Amino acid sequence: MSDKLKDILSHLSTEVDQETLLKYLEGRLSDEQRHEIEKKMLGSDFTDDAMEGLQEIKNKQRISSLVDQLNRDLHNKLEKKKKRIEKLRFKDQPWLYIAIIIILLLIVLSYFVIYRMLQNK
C-alpha cells in the first residue's frame, strides 16, 4: 500500500495537494487561490462534507496536528490489520506436507493389508 493512500486529506481531492488544503482550511491563501481550489473540488459530495466538517473546527492552527494524528491512527490500524491477516494466513511448512503424505500412505497401506487379510480367510 502506498503512503499516499494512507493520508487522510489526499482523498479529498486528487488535484490539490495536502499542504495546499491545510493552507486553505487555515485561511492562509489569497481569495484567488481559494477560488481556484474550490473550483477544483467542485462536484464531489464527499469533499464538500469533509471540508465543511474541517471548517467547523474553531482552532484552525490545530487542523494540521489533527490531520497528522488521523494519519498516524490510520497507519497503525492498517498495520494491525495487516499483521492479523498475516497471522491467519496458512504458512508454507514442509514438515506439515510430509506428515500429511505419511498419514495418507499409512492409510493406503493399512487398507491393502486389511484387504489381503480378508481375502486369505
Q: Note the pLDDT tens digit of each residue in 14-24.
A: 666 777 777 87
Q: What's the predicted TM-score (pTM) here?
A: 0.46
Q: Note the pLDDT tens digit of each residue in 15-54.
A: 667 777 778 777 788 888 888 888 877 777 777 777 777 7
Domain ranges in the chain?
A: 3-89, 91-121
Buried b (16+ CB within 10 A) or exposed e, 13-43: beebebebbbbbbeeebeeeeeeebeeebee
Q: So what's the pLDDT on residue 16?
A: 67
